[in-house]
């Protein structure tokens, strides 16, 4: 309904006409190049973007599904995995693969833990995974897809995983524990060492979701920031994910999933030997794997090297500190918790932050809205270094505007929707609402 109203054109258009139409349709898109967005795009400058574009297009047509056909891609993937393992404390037993992104890496981690348990814990009929409620929804997607029951445990007041509560949530059917380094909502690292201890004691798999932090935390630590062990250095960690397309600054479609050893990774694979089309073997979720994404990931790691990442991390951390300081200095606003890197949220006890977000939208800033508690979210990149004062100036002005507005005069728009949803006790309605939003996405 509605989705079939645009038909394949009978005649093709000219190359110029096609590109012009596409270019024009970008007019309303978020202005990430001006550092006006706080999620979705990790921008580290036009020079890097040009390198990524060149590397991506060089391998635009190649397919990582069959590395025998493309030894170049096989080399790139192996080296990206190896460099990532080196950054994340892996020894020579550690193995892994590239995937299309954080979600696919998390899907693989859950499926692998489930299939490992099927072999090693045949007594478990209905596997469960215990995760802090701050963990990324892709883990719940994985639980949903792979028939693993998610047991979500409330985080502590500092937004970090409550390891004692996680221990209490373990049952004879638990196969997997999860922690984040850091969590998306509040940018804090869960007590990975304590969860590792728990996992080792109980003989459970333990996945660390370092999709956000994997390519920043190692450098932040080297710059002197107090970063606790969060990776394969921690005993008990059996797998870890790190997204090259986030703070690795690669082109979209690049993440790494690492396992402690190849015995575990065996349970990730899918092979099929009885098909008329030949022998089939696929390491991850996708069949075809775009060569461009693999090539661009290899390119950026080699182009930046340690020095480049240290430089970008230094800028990112410095910018984050300036932003957090500026936000905390605005009467009524406060940063939530004690964020460990460049991702954080701020809330207010006296103002409706959703109204603040709407008014910031009107000034061209796209802040992401969060709930439980209501807050606004920022992921800081080097591109934000130049806009700190402009952003804080607008935020101060907006807060003033909200304060001095007559009661009830603000609060329509998204604020009304978010405010309403936050208060809605019946979450079934919210699910239906969200499914309706997804329907809208493909309506022409």
Ligand X SMILES: Cc1ncc(COP(=O)(O)O)c(C=O)c1O
Interacting residue ranges for ligand X, rule: CB under 6 A = 101-103, 106, 136, 138, 180, 184, 209, 211-212, 243
Give least dist CB 77 to ligand X, A.
17
Q: Do β-strands 128-132 and 174-180 pair in parallel, antiparallel, or remain unpaired? A: parallel
Residue 303 DSSP symbol: H
Task: Tell me the CA distances in angstroms from 52 to 45, 142, 293, one per residue in order.
Answer: 11, 30, 9
Whichever of 115 and 243 has its CB closer to ligand X, that residue is 243
Whichever of 100 and 374 has its CB closer to ligand X, that residue is 100
Give least dist CB 181 to ligand X, A.
8
Give least dist CB 280 to ligand X, A.
25
- Residue of minimal Cβ distance to ligand X: 102
The Cβ-side half-sphere exposure at 423, using a 13 Å CA radius, reads: 5
Whichever of 136 and 289 has its CB closer to ligand X, that residue is 136
Mind spelling out the 3-state secondary structure of 89-136? CCCCCCEEEEECCHHHHHHHHHHHHHHHHHHHCCCCCCCEEEEECCCC
Give least dist CB 243 to ligand X, A.
5
Whichever of 174 and 180 has its CB closer to ligand X, that residue is 180
Give least dist CB 285 to ligand X, A.
11
Whichever of 20 and 434 has its CB closer to ligand X, that residue is 434
- How many whole angstroms separate alpha carbon 156 and alpha carbon 230? 18
Whichever of 52 and 398 has its CB closer to ligand X, that residue is 52
Q: Express the helix, strand and coil content of the chain in percent, nearest 5 each.
A: 45, 15, 40
**Long-range contacts: 168-172, Cβ < 8 Å, 24+?**
169/130, 170/130, 170/198, 170/202, 170/204, 171/128, 172/123, 172/124
Give least dist CB 138 to ligand X, A.
5
């Amino acid at each position: 309904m509605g989705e079939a109203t645009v038909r394949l054109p009978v005649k093709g258009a000219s190359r110029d006409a096609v590109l012009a139409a596409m270019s024009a349709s970008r007019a309303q898109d978020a202005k990430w190049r001006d550092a006006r967005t706080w999620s979705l795009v990790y921008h580290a400058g036009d020079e890097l973007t040009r390198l990524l574009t060149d590397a991506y297009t060089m391998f635009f047509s190649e397919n990582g599904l069959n590395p025998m056909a493309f030894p170049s891609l096989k080399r790139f993937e192996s080296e990206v995995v190896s460099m990532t393992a080196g950054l994340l404390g892996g020894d020579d037993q550690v193995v892994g693969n590239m995937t299309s992104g954080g979600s696919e890496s998390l899907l693989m981690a859950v499926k692998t833990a489930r299939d490992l348990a099927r072999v090693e814990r045949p007594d478990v009929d209905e596997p469960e995974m215990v995760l802090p409620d701050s963990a990324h929804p892709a883990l719940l997607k994985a639980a949903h897809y792979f028939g693993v029951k998610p047991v979500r445990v409330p985080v502590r007041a500092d937004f970090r995983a409550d390891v004692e509560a996680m221990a209490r949530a373990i049952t004879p059917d638990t196969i997997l524990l999860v922690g984040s380094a850091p969590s998306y909502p509040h940018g804090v690292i869960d007590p990975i060492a304590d969860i590792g201890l728990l996992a080792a004691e109980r003989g459970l798999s333990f996945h660390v979701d370092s999709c956000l932090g994997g390519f920043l935390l190692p450098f932040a630590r080297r710059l002197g920031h107090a970063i606790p062990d969060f990776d394969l250095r921690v005993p008990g960690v059996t797998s870890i994910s790190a997204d090259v397309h986030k703070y690795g600054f690669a082109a979209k479609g690049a993440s790494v999933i690492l396992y402690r050893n190849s015995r575990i990774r065996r349970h990730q694979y899918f092979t099929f030997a009885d098909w008329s089309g030949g022998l089939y073997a696929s390491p991850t979720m996708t069949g075809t794997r775009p060569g461009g994404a693999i090539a661009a990931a290899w390119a950026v790691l080699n182009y930046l090297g340690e020095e480049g990442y240290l430089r970008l991390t230094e800028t990112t951390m410095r910018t984050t500190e300036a932003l957090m300081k500026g936000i905390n200095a605005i009467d009524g606003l406060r940063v939530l918790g004690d964020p460990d890197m460049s991702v954080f949220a701020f809330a207010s006890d006296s103002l409706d932050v959703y109204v603040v977000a709407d008014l910031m939208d009107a000034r061209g800033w796209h802040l992401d809205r969060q709930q439980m508690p209501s807050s606004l979210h920022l992921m800081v990149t080097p591109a934000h270094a130049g806009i700190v004062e402009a952003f804080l100036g607008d935020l101060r002005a907006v807060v003033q505007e909200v304060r001095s507005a007559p009661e009830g005069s603000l609060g329509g728009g998204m604020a009304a929707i978010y405010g309403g949803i936050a208060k809605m006790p019946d979450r079934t309605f919210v699910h239906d609402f969200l499914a309706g939003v997804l329907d809208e996405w493909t309506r022409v």
